[in-house]
Structure 1
Amino acid sequence: MAKLKARTSLSVLIVGTLLSTVGDSIAVIAMVLDAATDHPSWWVTEVYLAKLLPPLFLAPVLGSLVDRTDAKKAWLLAIIAEATMYVAAMAISGFHARVALIAIANVCAVAAASAAFKLVPAVAGRVGVEKANSGLVTASSIASLIGPAVGGAFYKSAGSSVLLGMNALTFAALCIAVFLVVPSRRSNEFSEVSNPFRGALDGLRVMARSPIVGPLLPILAIIILATSIEGVAGVFYLREVAGNDAVYGLLLSAWALGAIPGSLAGAWEKLAHRHLLLLLGGAFLVGAALFLEAIFPIAIIIGSVFIAGGFGNGAHNVGVRNIIHTHIPSRMHATAWAYFRVLVNTCVVLGYFVGTPGVLMNARTAIFWSGTLSLIATLIAVAWFWSRRRLGEVGARETSVTVAG
């Protein structure tokens, strides 16, 4: 009965997460299409930077606050704040004012994501954190497949204001899901928050000192930066290879389609506890797909390898979540996850810059190095952990990690 209840709670949370993530994708597409319509190209860049840059400055503080307060309340307040920003953005017409409001919403999203990550084990219960993470990453993968399509389809007929309002409604759905299924737990983990900056560096310290997470951080930084290079370069390269926007859209869908079974693979009993295998095996598939994308400028080949790359992307994302959940003490989960998001956003911004054709190299060359660097970083990590006989790490929880005051 307890396991059935946990499955029901987790299913409700996964559906709420799916709806909210679809809403986010719709909102981004709406703003990008607004920016791309008879406006300078840097307006599109502005939309993406509003998503990536603001959280960099406050993420560690927000993560620390979530760890020291009631995470469920923090999650609910952050969701409500996000919804409020999108309602306000819907009500005004100025593009830059809308971007500013969405930037504030993205800061709130850091607190929401940190609280969500911290509370996954509590919601999962006897189902297990590995299956919970697999379900949540699968929801994100499905959202990345259908969200842009829905946003693009309704943009001309509905307009960006309506689409922003749709996103606000999806936050309401997530808020209800969190309220209903996430348990409220108060314990001696909670402390006074009179100084919000206290403990802001602890998440970084605890990750750096972990025998598993510490060595992975520079590897993950290289992999994220390298794969982000393709994010911009691929727009120009793939549209040229595809020949038309319809085929280009299918190529992007192939990656998102492959990510769904890749995410589900994290719940398979034979893989669920092999966190490093999911993370590094997934990264290898991603790097190989990007490398082959540059080598073979043929749409049908790229579509095929993109399915494999997407599979690896989904498995990799599940592995990352599992490793942080397992090898970081639960009292530090929110802070650690906030720091990981800082790492991701920083590397993505740098990758977008490097991958912009003409900055350092042309689009195809950028994609070649995107795949090559990903493969090299992954193989280095495999050699490192293999030499220490940890590649088959089964997820034994670290309990001896301490943090300096």
Structure 2
Amino acid sequence: MSSPRRTSAIPLIALVVISSLAIIGDEAASMSMVLTAVDQGQPWMVTWFSLSLAIPAMVLAPLGGAIVDRYDPRRIWVAYLALQSLCLGAASLQDDFWARLSLLAASNVINILSGSAAFALLPALIGPVRIERANSLMAIGSSLAYMLGPALSAWLFDIVGASLMLGANAGTTAILAATALALVLRVERPETTDATSRSLWGGVRSGWQAIRSAPVVAATMPLLILIMVGTSIEAVAGMFWLRQISGTDTLYGLVLSCWAIGSIIGAYLAGTKRLSPRTMLLIVGGGLCMALAILAEGLVPIAIIIGGAFVIGGLGNGTHNVGVRNLIFQQIPQAHIGSAWAYYRMLASTSVAIGYVVGTPRTPNDAQGMVIVAGICALVGVLMAIVALRLPKPRAISSKARDSPEPATGDDTMATRTR
């Protein structure tokens, strides 16, 4: 039975807008730390910054996902957003780089919990909107934020400095917390299995087992890992290579914006009724577009051609991100949605850390070579996924999901790298 609180798309729109604002704030915080490191003439400080954010999240994400699945995700979402805002506010008051880094690492771990709770609550917040379109809108908002965030942050850093940028991030996170509080008052706690029958560590194991028991999810893991490793290598090497090719910062910025524009278009198309049922096409085809775009960047040193390739790569990026979100809702039982998203975030953090470690030593001396390596890495992931998906499966694709109570599939209506 539908109720008035489920017939409006306003909560979803509010979530998209405020989440995008918070991402811009996060980008401002990250950019302030990166530019501080650059000003101090320490290239490796950028890598240490990335590792400091990635490693704690990598270690603690599975436990965070189990907490979301065991307890009320509504309370976790609001409480941890508020706590994250306090961490960011404290970081804005610090003058020491490493003290700020420690607080930002803690904030990133908290973000894993709040993000997993928000992901688990999404089906309850979308009203009449299809889950595929909701995922598409969330991806569009993220793409816009990632497009505006770095440029706006770089401009503001010279005007207001790192402290005010961190303070602004604390403010946007506090706004998101207030919005989350207003939204959760409209929804009931999602149905889960009996949380009292298992410990948190048991929840960690159960969450991983739920992922492993979904053959399609397991088959796409190498693709997800290698795509993120490749794009992380490119994020380090491409910065130097593209600046060398472009010649001017204006052209460099225009080339980068082509990827963001493509990702917005791709995220929108992935939510259409024609494409949204084709989850594997979105994930694998999107990954292939990204891999080929990065290879084109390394092999064809012409800015205008790279810009065109980046539009295609960004389009693939947008469809890939929406496809991953759809896949989790389709294949993972509702009781383990929080864990599944937390594990995905853990894979993302691990892959980014590996990419930065691999890409940094050879950059900037062999930036072009590392961009080519990044493209090959992503392409290998695509080929592995194609082979894995074509292998005969002893179980039905959604055996675990169908046997679980009330899976959030979205099939009824058929259902980090963004620069």
Deviation by residue 1:249-307 (Cα, 9 ceiling, x = unmatched): 22222211211111111211101121111111110110110111111001111111111
Residue 415 (structure 2) aligns with: none
Give distance in 1, aligned partners of 2:364 and 2:97.
Answer: 31
Give distance in 2, aligned partners of 1:354 and 1:127.
Answer: 42
Residue 52 (structure 2) aligns with: 50
Shift of 1:399: 1.9
Residue 217 (structure 1) aligns with: 221
Q: TM-score, normalised by structure 1?
A: 0.92
Deviation by residue 1:196-216 (Cα, 9 ceiling, x = unmatched): 333212222111121211111
Residue 5 (structure 1) aligns with: 7
Deviation by residue 1:161-198 (Cα, 9 ceiling, x = unmatched): 11111111111221122122232316564634995333
Shift of 1:239: 1.4
Q: TM-score, normalised by structure 2?
A: 0.89
Which of 278, 284, 294 lines up with 2:282 in the alignment?
278
Give ranges in structure 2 of 5+ residues lacking alignment.
406-419
Which of 119, 122, 134 lines up with 2:121 in the alignment?
119
Give distance in 2, aligned partners of 1:380 and 1:6.
Answer: 42
Which of 164, 179, 182 lines up with 1:162 in the alignment?
164
Give distance in 2, aligned partners of 1:96 and 1:379.
Answer: 41
Spell out the pairing of 1:328-339 with structure 2 (5 A cutoff). 328-339=332-343
The residue type paired with residue 146 of structure 1 is: L
Which of 318, 323, 326 lines up with 2:327 in the alignment?
323
Residue 366 (structure 2) aligns with: 362
Task: Give the direction of change, closer, same or farther, for the CA distance of 1:239–1:169 in structure 2 (3 Å limit).
Answer: same
Deviation by residue 1:57-111 (Cα, 9 ceiling, x = unmatched): 1111111011011101001111011100011111121111011111100010010
Which of 231, 235, 239 lines up with 2:239 in the alignment?
235
Contact 2:28 2:153 in 1 (8 A): yes
Shift of 1:309: 0.5
Contact 1:51 1:103 in 2 (8 A): yes
Which of 174, 181, 184 lines up with 2:188 in the alignment?
184
Residue 109 (structure 1) aligns with: 111
Residue 265 (structure 1) aligns with: 269
Task: Give the direction of change, closer, same or farther, for the CA distance of 1:133–1:187 in structure 2 (3 Å limit).
Answer: closer
Give distance in 2, aligned partners of 1:190 and 1:369.
Answer: 47
Task: Give the direction of change, closer, same or farther, for the CA distance of 1:222–1:186 in structure 2 (3 Å limit).
Answer: closer
Give distance in 1, aligned partners of 2:81 and 2:401.
Answer: 31
Contact 1:74 1:111 in 2 (8 A): yes
What percentage of aligned pairs have identical amino acids? Answer: 36
Shift of 1:358: 2.5
Residue 251 (structure 2) aligns with: 247
Which of 318, 327, 340 lines up with 1:314 in the alignment?
318
Contact 2:70 2:203 in 1 (8 A): no
The residue type paired with residue 128 of structure 1 is: R
The residue type paired with residue 266 of structure 1 is: A
Shift of 1:386: 4.8
Task: Give the direction of change, closer, same or farther, for the CA distance of 1:401–1:378 in structure 2 (3 Å limit).
Answer: farther
Give distance in 1, aligned partners of 2:103 and 2:36.
Answer: 15
Contact 2:225 2:381 in 1 (8 A): no
Deviation by residue 1:33-77 (Cα, 9 ceiling, x = unmatched): 122113422222232222211101111111101101110100111
Give distance in 1, aligned partners of 2:90 and 2:333.
Answer: 38
Q: Equivalent residue of 1:271, what SS?
A: coil
Residue 131 (structure 2) aligns with: 129
Contact 1:76 1:178 in 2 (8 A): yes
The residue type paired with residue 77 of structure 1 is: A
Give ranges in structure 1 of 5+ residues lacking alignment.
none
The residue type paired with residue 223 of structure 1 is: I
Give distance in 1, aligned partners of 2:341 and 2:250.
Answer: 37
Contact 2:47 2:360 in 1 (8 A): no
Task: Give the direction of change, closer, same or farther, for the CA distance of 1:374–1:40 in structure 2 (3 Å limit).
Answer: closer
Contact 1:70 1:184 in 2 (8 A): no
Residue 296 (structure 2) aligns with: 292
Shift of 1:360: 12
Task: Give the direction of change, closer, same or farther, for the CA distance of 1:337–1:304 in structure 2 (3 Å limit).
Answer: same
Q: Equivalent residue of 1:253, what SS?
A: helix
Structure 1, 165-174 or 214-223: larger mean CA deviation: 214-223
Give distance in 2, aligned partners of 1:387 and 1:60.
Answer: 29
Which of 399, 402, 419 lines up with 1:399 in the alignment?
402
The residue type paired with residue 17 of structure 1 is: S
Aligned-residue Cα RMSD (Å) equals 2.4
Contact 2:62 2:343 in 1 (8 A): yes
Contact 1:67 1:190 in 2 (8 A): no
Contact 1:65 1:193 in 2 (8 A): no
Residue 84 (structure 2) aligns with: 82
Shift of 1:229: 1.9
